[in-house]
């Protein structure tokens, strides 16, 4: 039997503006198919009912996904007061109602309580594992869940619109692990009512924003041309905040073989000595990323080696 074709060695990032109704896994599969890429992954799940920024890593960029997922994310979301649903969004069944409709003054007074480090209980319909099973699978089977609260970081939360008494629109900048559905649920409880998310759009993930995004329809139209265009961003785009260290060719070759190196140039040694133990750096050679590396006692140890 002939060996199945795996695709081309495409490396870099596509910033997809994910459409409504498509899962993140489906979006990754679609981009991989359009670009005929051998390997792909994504930098942060979006629910099917959410739209917006889904960074898709291709080839060796998949080794940098964790750095993207750790970055700040910005969301715009709308909620409907007075209805609590099983999923905390429009997909679930109504389980409670309230006649209370908070006014602008009440909302603005409540928002500061949700900025900074806060405790948050994830939605029952989430991908968190409980005894080896996904919470959403257990919830669909009718299990009563008591998911542990976790600390999340919310940099900002602001009211951006109130089209009518039943609805409100917000924008939030949040850290890793924050659930917008939980934020909406808890805000409603604070205001003496209930609510669920009716629309959710992710505006940015780290340095990836709508200004760099492309729709799936447009990507399908330009096809393989995207790999040679501005839409395929360099692998290093996700690592702009990480300091870089230029290696000699000899040092780069050693690191490609998985060896720890000691920078030869005095200026480089001084930089390394000034860094904290365990600090992450981008080790480069001739302008290309060789490895993500860790600084340890004046040495540079490769953590994720790039294979171009």
Range 270-306 burial, b when 16+ CB lie within 10 A, else e: eebeebeeeebbbbbbeeebbbbbbbeeeebbbebbb
> Quick check: helix, strand or coil at residue 61?
helix
Question: What are 41's two structure tokens?
Answer: 């992954």
175: exposed, middle or buried (C-beta count within 10 Å: 0-12, 13-18, 19+)? middle
Active site annotation includes 47? yes
Q: What is the DSSP letter of 210?
A: G
Measure CA of the first residue to CA of the last residue in the chain; give whole Å. Answer: 29
Q: Which of 17, 47, 88, 89 is catalytic?
A: 47
Q: Which residues pair with 300 in a beta bridge?
A: 261, 295
Phi/psi for 229 (5° steps) reads -115, -175
Which residues are identified as catalytic? 47
């Amino acid at each position: 039997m002939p060996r199945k074709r795996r695709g081309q060695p495409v490396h870099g990032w596509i910033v997809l503006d994910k459409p409504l109704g498509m899962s993140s896994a489906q979006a990754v599969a679609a981009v991989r198919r359009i670009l005929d890429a051998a390997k792909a992954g994504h930098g942060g799940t979006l629910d099917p009912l959410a739209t917006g920024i889904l960074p898709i890593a291709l080839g060796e960029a998949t080794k940098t996904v964790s750095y993207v997922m750790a970055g700040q994310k910005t969301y715009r979301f709308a909620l409907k007061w007075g209805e609590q649903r099983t999923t905390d969004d429009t997909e679930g069944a109504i389980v409670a109602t309230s006649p209370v409709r908070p006014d602008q003054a009440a909302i603005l007074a409540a928002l500061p309580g949700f900025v900074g480090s806060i405790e948050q209980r994830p939605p029952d319909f989430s991908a968190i594992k409980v005894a080896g099973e996904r919470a959403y699978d257990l919830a669909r089977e009718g299990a009563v869940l008591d998911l542990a609260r976790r600390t999340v970081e919310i940099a900002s939360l602001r009211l951006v619109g109130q089209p009518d008494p039943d609805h409100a629109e917000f924008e939030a900048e949040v850290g890793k692990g924050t659930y917008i559905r939980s934020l909406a649920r808890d805000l409603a409880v604070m205001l003496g009512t209930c609510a669920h998310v009716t629309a959710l759009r992710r505006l940015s993930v780290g340095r990836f924003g709508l200004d760099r995004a492309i729709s799936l329809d447009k990507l399908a139209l330009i096809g393989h041309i995207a790999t040679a265009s501005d839409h395929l961003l360099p692998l290093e785009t996700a690592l702009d905040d990480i300091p870089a260290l230029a290696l000699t060719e000899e040092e780069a070759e050693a690191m490609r073989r998985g060896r720890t190196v000691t920078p030869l140039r005095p200026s480089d040694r001084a930089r390394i000595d000034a860094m904290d133990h365990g600090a992450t750096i981008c080790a480069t050679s001739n302008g290309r990323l060789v490895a993500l590396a860790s600084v340890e006692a004046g040495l540079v140890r490769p953590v994720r080696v790039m294979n171009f």
